Amino acid sequence: MSESPKLALIRAKVESFERLTFDDGMALFMEPDLLSVGQLANEVRETRHGDRTFFNKNMRIEVTNVCVASCLFCSFAKLEEHMPGAHTMKLEEAWHELEKRMDDPGGPPTEVHVVNGLHPGLPFSYYEELLRGFKRIDPNVHLKCFTAVEIHFFARHYGLSYAVVLERLRAAGLESLPGGGAEIFDEGVRSKISHDKATAAEYLEVHRVAHRMGMRTNATMLYGHIETFAHRVDHILRLRALQDETKGLQAFIPLAFHPDGNGMKNMPAPTAVDDLRTIAVSRLLLDNVDHIKAYWVSLTPDVAQIALRFGADDIDGTIVHETIYKAAGTLSPGALGYEELVRLIREAGRIPVERDTLYNVVRELPRAAVPEAALKPRDRERARPKLPMFQVPPSPLVAHADEVTS
């Protein structure tokens, strides 16, 4: 199929580093030739990162699912502590989750990623202590905790400014913010799917304040429910504008909506075609954000693997405990081992690069000589390049391929 005139114009812009517009974003979403959109996004991805594909050893933990907000898409939150299925961890329980991972065969997680409900009954010191406890267990672990929506809630609930909330949490060990809670910025859609938590402007302001304090953050977009393509383009461009201002966003993560057990359960989940297109358009529009993450839990490992050829350069991490998507009916497993992630990346013809949260390279692994699937099953194990992780101590960070892969 020859390229459509619209796509040819967009290609010319991309190749001359000209910024794409709202209309270009719409044209990319409407373009019937998905593969050409993907190919263009892949070219941008390869210009930035070549074949390198990032992942990390991380741990997800949701310490409480008690939440005063009533988001239509959420299958995880419980309004009150005494409701069936509600849980709030004692601090010792939360810390124990990290303690259990300290002897993982490939080394302990380099990141703890915390996302919670908006609990009205906990003191602020609970969150400070939570962070301090993680750092006591492992001073090297990076704490990527609390979405901008949680930071906004803390500010309102405890009568503090965003800056003071962030400063106090930083003093307790916080190092960066995850991207959750962005949903869709358009005020009309947001008022329907999550009317009683931080607005789009408040979400963006929390990130702005964090960036000004020197903290890096991620951003997300929840797609595939009641929003339109125009809302998605608008969402991405609001993030691009923030990034022009602060340069503090390090990764963008489109999150595919999962309908089980929530207020939009009658909607179909987005298709793989929609997933891949959304990744590709994000890569093309967000010319000032380094990384596009194909979050394997939301996409499934299979689609995430293909997304690595549609603009994504990161696949998130080993995770182990994930409850938000589990509650919403994801078909993905709860965890992927280090070797499985590496294999997934290699099978996509890419080079696996273990990173820390701030994208410092922990170790770069060799690419696969031939796709494993081309080999007889009995030869696969033998042909796999050996992972160095069992011979090499997991830290210090920033080791390079030739040091560890020979």
In this chain, which of 328, 341, 362, 404 binds ligand V47, going by CB under 6 A? 328
Q: According to the binding rule CB under 6 A, does residue 117 interact with ligand V47?
A: no
In this chain, which of 7, 74, 312, 389 binds ligand V47, going by CB under 6 A? 74
Q: According to the binding rule CB under 6 A, does residue 176 interact with ligand V47?
A: no
Q: According to the binding rule CB under 6 A, does residue 172 interact with ligand V47?
A: no
Q: According to the binding rule CB under 6 A, does residue 305 interact with ligand V47?
A: no
H-state helical runs in 138-246 = 148-158, 162-172, 187-193, 200-212, 229-246
CB of 244 closer than 8 Å to CB of 278: no
Q: According to the binding rule CB under 6 A, does residue 53 interact with ligand V47?
A: no
Q: According to the binding rule CB under 6 A, does residue 324 interact with ligand V47?
A: yes
Q: Name the residue whose CB lies closest to ligand V47.
A: 180
In this chain, which of 14, 242, 253, 362 binds ligand V47, going by CB under 6 A? 253
Rank residues 268 and 393 by Cβ distance to ligand V47 and give the closer one: 268
Stretch that binds ligand V47, among 15-23, 78-86, 176-184, 232-240 (CB under 6 A): 176-184
208 contact partners, CB below 8 Å, separation of at least 6: 242, 245, 246
Q: According to the binding rule CB under 6 A, does residue 183 interact with ligand V47?
A: yes
Q: According to the binding rule CB under 6 A, does residue 109 interact with ligand V47?
A: no
Q: How far apart are the first and last CA of the chain?
A: 44
Q: How many residues appear in the chain?
A: 406
Residue 282 Cβ vs ligand V47, minimum distance, rounded to whole Å: 14
Q: According to the binding rule CB under 6 A, does residue 278 interact with ligand V47?
A: no
- Residue 347 φ/ψ, nearest 5 degrees: -65, -25
Q: Which helix (H) or strand (E) holds 160?
A: none
Q: Could you tell me the two tokens for 291? A: 């990384």
300 contact partners, CB below 8 Å, separation of at least 6: 330, 331, 332
CB of 72 closer than 8 Å to CB of 193: yes
Per the listing, tokens 């990390």 go with 56
Q: According to the binding rule CB under 6 A, does residue 315 interact with ligand V47?
A: no
- Using CB under 6 A, list all residues that contact ligand V47: 73-75, 115, 147, 178-181, 183, 218, 220, 222, 253, 255, 257-258, 262, 295, 298, 316, 324, 328
